[in-house]
């Protein structure tokens, strides 16, 4: 949507390190990112950094009224957009690092699936490791986590650090194929089974 693109650019100019992208993710990338959301049952699905809701819409379509969908967005303006468009989603303006407290406050023991749109490359190494560790501690033992990285930046220290930190945090991490139908091209990391104890990856 043109309005979403304009809002994204404006928020990026105002808070580049927080938004971390100049455009919302494509529907093709969204399909890959939300792949672990189960097609049956009542899963607890958490979305981190929904922005204007590219992944939110895909998750809501997949859930079709089942389960529980919590979206944690630090930017009030993005949160207001998602809340207005998706009344079935519990949208909270907060820091993803507080996921354990946010779930506890709702009487929820653990998330089955966590889908992340967070701008990892824009976070300092301790901050990124801290957020990931907090998220992992809020997941069920066989929980699934997905996040994405831009392909042109995979060689950079923040991207390599993310890959290593994911490896320290989850028992299994599988990179997906390059999604060319996204600006810029991206790939999705599919992680499973949080290990609970995170080691902060050292710079390459
Ligand atoms: C790269 S954008 C992705 C937006 C959307 N998921 C997409 O793919 O189009 C990053 C989003 O994460 C949000 N964000 C950044 N840091 C956050 C934090 N600590 N907690 C929650 N949301 C955060 C930003 O406000 C922004 O909406």
pLDDT tens column, 64-116: 999 999 999 999 999 999 999 999 999 999 999 999 999 999 999 999 999 99
In this prediction the pTM is 0.94
38: CA distance to ligand 1 center in Å? 23
49: CA distance to ligand 1 center in Å? 3
20: CA distance to ligand 1 center in Å? 8
- Ligand 1: which of 47, 83, 94, 119 to mutate, most ligand atoms within 8 Å of CB? 119
- Ligand 1: which of 118, 120, 130, 186 to mutate, most ligand atoms within 8 Å of CB? 118
Reading the block at residue 34, the tokens are 């939300």
pLDDT digits (tens, 9 = 90+) for 148-204: 999 999 999 999 999 999 999 999 999 999 999 999 999 999 999 999 654 455 555
CA atoms of 80 and 57, how far apart (whole Å): 15
- Give the residue from 172, 110, 121, 113 showing the smallest Cα distance to 148: 121
In this prediction, residue 33 has a pLDDT band, given cuts at 50, 70 and 90, of very high
* Strand partners of residue 70: 46, 90
Q: Largest alpha-carbon pair distance within the chain?
A: 44
């Amino acid at each position: 949507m043109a309005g979403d693109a304009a809002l994204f650019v404006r928020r990026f100019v105002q808070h580049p390190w927080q938004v971390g992208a100049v455009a919302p993710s494509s529907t093709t990338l969204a399909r890959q990112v939300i792949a672990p959301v189960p097609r049956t049952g009542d899963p607890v699905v958490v979305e981190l950094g929904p922005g204007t809701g590219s992944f939110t819409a895909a998750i809501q379509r997949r859930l079709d009224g089942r389960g529980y969908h919590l979206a944690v967005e630090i930017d009030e303006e993005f949160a207001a957009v998602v809340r207005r468009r998706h009344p079935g989603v519990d949208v909270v303006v907060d820091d993803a690092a507080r996921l354990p407290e946010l779930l506890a406050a709702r009487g929820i023991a653990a998330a089955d699936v966590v889908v992340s749109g967070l701008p990892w490359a824009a976070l300092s190494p301790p901050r990124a490791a801290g957020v990931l560790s907090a998220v992992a501690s809020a997941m069920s033992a066989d929980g699934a986590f997905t996040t994405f990285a831009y392909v042109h930046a995979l060689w950079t220290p923040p991207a390599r650090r993310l890959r290593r930190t994911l490896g320290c945090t989850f028992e299994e991490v599988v990179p997906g194929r390059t999604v060319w139908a996204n600006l810029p091209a991206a790939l999705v990391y599919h992680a499973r089974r949080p290990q609970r104890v995170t080691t902060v990856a050292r710079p390459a």
